[in-house]
C-alpha cells in the first residue's frame, strides 16, 4: 500500500485511515471539498510519517470533474495501489420521502458519484493488472427501514455494484472491498443518541485496513454487525414492516 488515494478525505473515517497509512510511510493523495481542511490534514499526516501528501479539491457531485482530478492524482502518485472511497451524507428521510429532488441529491452523493469514480478507478487498475479499491458503504444497505430507506437504498446500490465490479476486476488482479460500518460516532451523526453498538472512526479504519490486507470481500465493521444484519435480513416482511425502525 505505497500509493494511496483517499476520496472524501475530510470525513472522520477517512482521516483515521489516512493517519494509519501515514504511520506506515505511505504516499497519500487526498480529495475532498474543503481545501483549507485538506491543507491542515496534509501537515498532520506529514508529521505522522507520510512519505508525501498531496491533495486537490473535489465536489463529488460534479461528475464531469472526476476524470481530470483522478488524472491529477495519477500524475502525482505515478500509480494507485489502494483507493479508498469514503464520502457520504446522511439525508433528511422525511424530506426525501416528500420531495424527489431531495432524494435525487442524496443518490448523487451516496451512490452515483461513487459509481462514477469506481468506473474510472476500475479502468485504471484493470489496465495495470493490480491494485485494491475499498469503499465505505453501510449496514443500512442490507435492508430498507422506514427511518432511512433513501440512504439505505443508495448504499445498497453501491454494494450491489461492488459485487459485480469485483467479479469484473478479479481476472485482472484487482481486489474490491465493501466495508459496511454500523453506527459510527462522527460529526455526521453528532445529533443522534449514542449507545453500546457505536464505534469510533479509528475502529472502522482498522477494520477497513485489515480487510484490505486480508483481501476480504465484505467487511462488517465491527464484525458483530455481520450477525446483527443476518438476523435483520431474516425477519419476514410481514413482521418487519410493523417494527418501529
pTM of the predicted model, to two decimals? Answer: 0.95
Per-residue pLDDT at 193: 82
Contact between 219 and 162 (Cβ < 8 Å): no
Going from the N-terminus, what domains does the chain have, and what CATH number goes with each? 3-240 (3.40.50.720)
Per-residue pLDDT at 187: 82
Among candidate residues 81, 84, 112, the one with its CA nearest the CA of residue 174 = 81
Per-residue pLDDT at 139: 98
Contact between 155 and 138 (Cβ < 8 Å): yes
The sign one gets for the Cα dihedral 99, 111, 214, 218 is positive
Cell of 61: 457531485
- Phi-psi domain of 184 (left: phi exceeds 0; alpha: psi -120 through 50; beta: other): beta
Per-residue pLDDT at 196: 85
C-alpha distances (whole Å) from 88 to each of 70, 85, 118, 125, 127 are 19, 9, 15, 23, 28
Per-residue pLDDT at 161: 98
Per-residue pLDDT at 194: 83
Could you tell me whether strands 131-136 and 52-57 are parallel, antiparallel, or unpaired per DSSP bridges? unpaired
Per-residue pLDDT at 1: 64
Show Cβ contacts of residue 172 under 8 Å, excluding neighbours closer than 6 positions.
125, 126, 129
Q: Report d(CA 213, CA 231) in Å as an integer.
A: 28
Taking the chain (245 residues) in runs of 10, the rounded mean pLDDT of each run is 94 98 98 98 98 98 98 97 97 97 98 98 96 98 96 98 98 98 88 87 98 98 97 96 91
Amino acid at each position: 500500500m505505497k500509493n494511496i488515494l483517499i476520496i472524501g478525505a475530510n470525513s472522520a473515517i477517512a482521516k483515521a485511515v489516512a493517519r494509519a497509512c501515514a504511520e506506515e510511510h505511505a504516499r497519500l493523495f487526498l480529495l475532498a471539498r474543503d481545501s483549507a481542511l485538506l491543507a491542515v490534514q496534509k501537515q498532520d499526516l506529514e508529521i505522522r510519517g507520510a512519505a508525501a501528501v498531496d491533495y486537490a479539491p473535489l465536489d463529488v457531485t460534479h461528475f464531469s470533474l472526476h476524470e481530470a482530478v483522478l488524472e491529477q492524482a495519477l500524475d502525482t502518485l505515478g500509480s494507485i495501489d489502494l483507493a479508498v472511497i469514503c464520502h457520504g451524507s446522511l439525508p433528511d428521510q422525511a424530506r426525501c420521502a416528500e420531495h424527489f429532488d431531495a432524494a435525487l441529491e442524496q443518490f448523487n452523493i451516496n451512490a452515483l458519484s461513487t459509481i462514477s469514480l469506481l468506473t474510472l478507478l476500475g479502468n485504471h487498475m484493470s489496465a495495470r493488472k493490480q491494485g485494491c479499491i475499498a469503499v465505505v458503504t453501510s449496514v443500512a444497505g442490507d435492508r430498507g427501514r422506514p427511518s432511512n430507506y433513501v440512504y439505505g437504498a443508495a448504499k445498497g446500490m453501491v454494494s450491489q455494484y461492488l459485487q459485480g465490479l469485483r467479479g469484473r476486476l478479479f481476472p485482472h488482479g484487482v481486489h474490491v472491498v465493501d466495508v459496511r460500518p454500523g453506527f459510527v460516532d462522527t460529526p455526521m451523526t453528532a445529533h443522534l443518541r449514542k449507545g453500546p453498538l457505536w464505534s469510533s472512526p479509528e475502529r472502522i479504519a482498522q477494520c477497513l485496513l485489515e480487510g484490505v490486507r486480508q483481501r476480504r470481500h465484505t467487511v462488517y465493521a465491527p464484525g458483530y454487525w455481520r450477525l446483527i444484519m443476518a438476523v435483520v435480513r431474516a425477519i419476514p416482511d410481514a413482521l418487519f414492516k410493523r417494527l418501529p425502525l
